[in-house]
Structure 1
Amino acid sequence: MGERIVVTGGGGFIGAHLVKRLVHDGWDVAVVDNMVRGDASRFAEVADDVRLYTCDVRDQDALESAFAGAEVVMHLAAINGTENFYTQPELVLDVGLRGALAVVNAGRAANVPDVVLASTAEVYQTPSIVPTPETIPLMLPDSLNPRYSYGGSKIVTELIAFNYAQEHYRKVQVFRPHNVFGPNMGWKHVEPQFILRALAAQDAGDAAFPIQGDGSETRSFCYVDDVVQGILTMYANGGHREVYHIGSDVELSIRNLAERIGRIVGVDLDIQPGEAAFGGTPRRCPDITKMRALGWSPEVDLDEGLARTVAWYRENRDVKPANDLM
């Protein structure tokens, strides 16, 4: 067995893909996940090679036990999903803040030398520079808007990462994933929602496809396998007390995303603009110069990644979980 690594949130979308890759790379892998939002079936193919700690990431005592002997902890546990930011802000904040504190303190208590924490592009919201470098100021536009429960929790997570136990850790890194997508990513993100609606439109013979806003908002979508490779490249080649943007630097409008999904599904969608969500960001695209300097860049073409994702949701469209956090 290789060195021991612990992934919090290993039953989540990115976490499970990371877990599978780590097992294949020869790591001794442990997962911390209470499976409230995660699902162990996501890493079923390597489950026999993974030690699962079914505990809450806010439980420091449980984390200390799980972290014992680890070379590195990768902290990905969170309540993600844009819909959850609006409907479950208290839980989003509680897991985000108390989880980050518990992780860094448990890592110190268990003498873990390295810790990697997942942040988000939401920490800088509407940037003044696009593509956006890691040095952009972090921003909370409106504390009254529950949308920012997630971004706010991740701003504090970054502060916790770099200021708690900074004398203890050999390497502390933060990565900000940008619009990661792929098979089995949950049900409350734009890609699965668009895919399921396009499939329903095809079945109904009605191509009407309402969207929020006029579709001119842009994002940069990165396939999950590329993001996992980015995390591992960052850890291997990146520095201590550094932040890295991991994502694609190809900017795409939401309208174009819907059109691409429609083509892959096989339906010519009649995209109908609607009212924009309050607090949305007009443009988002990361500057990945810093990651490119470490030897990483995305490799999976957007349409190829979307085709793989559409195929999974077409096959699994009737197994949407009852869990309202998914």
Structure 2
Amino acid sequence: MTAVDGVEYSPAELDRDATFYVAGHRGLVGSAIWRRLEAGGFENLVGQTSSELDLRERDAVFDFFRATQPRYVALAAAKVGGILANSTFPVDFLSDNIRIQTNVMDAAREVGVERLLFLGSSCIYPKYAPQPIREDSLLTGHLEPTNDAYAIAKIAGILHVQSVRRQYGLPWISAMPTNLYGPNDNYSPTGSHVLPALIRRYDEAASAGDARVTNWGTGTPRREFLHADDMADASLHLLEHYDGPAQVNVGTGSDITIREIAETIAGVVGFEGETDWDTTKPDGTPQKLLDVSALAAAGWTSKISLEEGIERTVAWYRAHVGALRG
């Protein structure tokens, strides 16, 4: 049983006047959650940039929580990157993410945060998990080697939430999003995920009038993509409608090949050249489609189509290209 002040907890509409801390509020997911909360009438949102508060620094995190006393927390802060970054710097992804998660959740528990949402990643599941991937596939097989360190950190976060529920009875929950994209993403050529990397690559090629673009791998892996604004909407929905120890998959329930997503992006940005595929580079997991039946049972389904989402994201990218990180 989870409880708040000794009373059995039942999910309900959150108090719009309560202090709500969004960890990672400048990032892809955190900024989307912030926008959704503002639109939903939350009056007391709290956020700190990494330069204002380094979440890897335990004492600073505890001081921040003691000073702000948030009632709700969305833990969207993380060190993230694509295949190259994950496989090149596994220690960074393991160490930084475990410290961020542990510090935030330990401090949140100390001050009695009522409702905390931990956001992980679909990479927590085994490389060859049956498709679509159910929540109970967790820890049933080997991870994808190119991002196993990051995945282990996120698995630790899920267990941390479950442990808090068992030991302290707090109604904290976890959500595992599929591949996300949208405003405030990382568009670095070396550190980004596949969709933002493709947007930058094709848009630059279109602007330069290049005849060819080269992408990593074979183009055959299948991926599911969810717009960050949909993820933010699902996050608030789960906080107000779901309570349970199991992580909840968040996605669209449909996937597409990397080759097809590349063709879609090329069309949206106006690239008319040819695409080559460097098959010496890794593909990663062959397919990663989430079973979203638990999310649907909780009353939520995605609303933004992939083409609409890409068009919106390309427009945002072009409007902010001069100030992008990376």
Same fold (TM over 0.5): yes
Name the % identity.
26
Partner of 1:74: helix, strand, or coil?
strand
TM superposition score normalised by structure 2: 0.86
Q: Which amino acid letter does the alignment assign opposite residue 73 of structure 2?
A: V
Q: Is 1:110 matched up with 2:111? A: yes
After TM superposition, the structure 1 stretch with the greater mean CA deviation from structure 2, 148-157 or 285-294, is 148-157
**Cα deviation code 1:135-181 (max 9, x no counterpart):** 113367479x5632211211112122212473324212111111111
Q: Give the Cα separation in 1 of the matches to 2:94 and 2:266.
A: 35
TM-score, normalized by length of structure 1?
0.86
Structure 1 residue identity aligned to 2:54: D
The equivalent residue for 1:48 is none
Letter in 2 for 1:172: W
Partners of 1:127 and 1:134 in 2: how far apart? 14
Counterpart check, 1:231 vs 2:235: yes
SS in structure 2 of the partner of residue 250 of structure 1 = coil
Determine the structure 2 residue equivalent to 1:24.
Answer: 39
Question: Residue 160 of structure 1 corresponds to which residue in structure 2?
Answer: 160
Give the secondary-structure state (helix, strand or coil) at the position aligned to 1:317.
helix
Q: Contact conserved, 1:108 with 1:169, CA < 8 A, in 2? A: no
Counterpart secondary structure, 2:231:
helix
Name the structure 2 match of 1:252.
256
Counterpart CA distance in 2 for 1:205 and 1:283 is 33
Unaligned runs of 5+ in 2: 1-15
Aligned position for 2:318: 314
Match of 1:282 among 278, 286, 305: 286
Equivalence map 1:52-63=2 (5 Å): 54-63=52-61
Q: Deviations over 1:44-73 (max 9, x none)?
A: xxxxxxxxxx21213333333433432222
Residue 211 (structure 1) shift: 1.6
Q: Secondary structure at the match of 1:166?
A: helix
Given that 1:74 and 1:116 are in contact with CA atoms closer than 8 Å, whether structure 2 keeps it comes out as yes
* Structure 2 residue matching 1:211: 3-state secondary structure: strand
1:1-326 aligned at under 5 Å gives the runs 2-27=17-42, 28-35=44-51, 54-68=52-66, 69-82=69-82, 83-138=84-139, 141=142, 145=145, 147-164=147-164, 166-187=166-187, 188-275=192-279, 277-278=281-282, 280-321=284-325, 326=326
The higher-RCO structure (CA 8 Å, 6+ apart) is: 2
1:254-294 residue CA offsets vs partner (Å, 9 max, x unmatched): 00001000111112341212225447100011111111111
SS in structure 2 opposite 1:180? strand
> Whole-Å Cα distance in 2 between the matches of residues 142 and 230 of structure 1?
26
- The 1:269–1:218 alpha-carbon spacing in structure 2 relative to 1, beyond 3 Å, is farther
What displacement does 1:128 show? 2.6
Instruction: Judge conservation of contact 2:27–2:184 (CA < 8 Å) in 1.
Output: no
User: Is the CA contact 1:209–1:272 (under 8 Å) kept in the aligned structure 2?
Assistant: yes
Contact 1:247–1:298 (8 Å) recurs in 2: yes
* Alignment-mate amino acid for residue 72 of structure 2: V
Partners of 2:28 and 2:169 in 1: CA distance: 27
Counterpart Cα distance in 2 of 1:169 and 1:112: 12
Q: Please give the alpha-carbon distance, in whole angstroms, between the structure 2 residues aligned to 1:31 and 1:17.
A: 13
Tell me the secondary structure at the aligned position of residue 273 of structure 1.
strand
What is the letter of the counterpart of residue 183 of structure 2? Answer: P
Deviations 1:172-197 (A, max 9, x none): 21111111111221111222221121
